[in-house]
Amino acid sequence: MDNTDLKIIEAINTVSPEYFVSPVKVNEILKLNETELGIRLMLLKKSGHVDIMTSEYPSSLTLPNAISKVHLTELGRKTHANRF
């Protein structure tokens, strides 16, 4: 996990520490390339820090890789609390 991953966790926590949120709203804080954000979210899911939902019907709030919602898991919240 690098500094960008920690910034993603912080941004998700800022938008909503408890509920699923649009990754596009999270990216309004981060200003990352949407494809890069999607890849990083998938890796954070594999490590257990976030949970994601995908959609077959993309909207303006969906990333190019179909991620439509994201939220912090308990591990993600602990990582955030220990880091910030």
| Contact predicate 25/58, CB 8 Å | no
Residues of the chain with pLDDT under 70: 84
Q: What is the pLDDT of residue 58?
A: 81
Q: What is the pLDDT of residue 9?
A: 97
Considering only CA atoms, give the Rg of the chain: 11
Q: Hey, what domains does the chain have and what are their CATH numbers?
A: 3-83 (1.10.10.10)
- Give the Cα separation of 68 and 84 in Å (integer): 26
- Give the Cα separation of 49 and 54 in Å (integer): 17
Q: Is 29 exposed, middle or buried (0-12, 13-18, 19+ CB in 10 A)?
A: middle
Q: What is the pLDDT of residue 22?
A: 96
Entry pTM: 0.93
> Mapping DSSP to helix (H, G, I), strand (E, B) and coil, where does residue 41 land?
helix
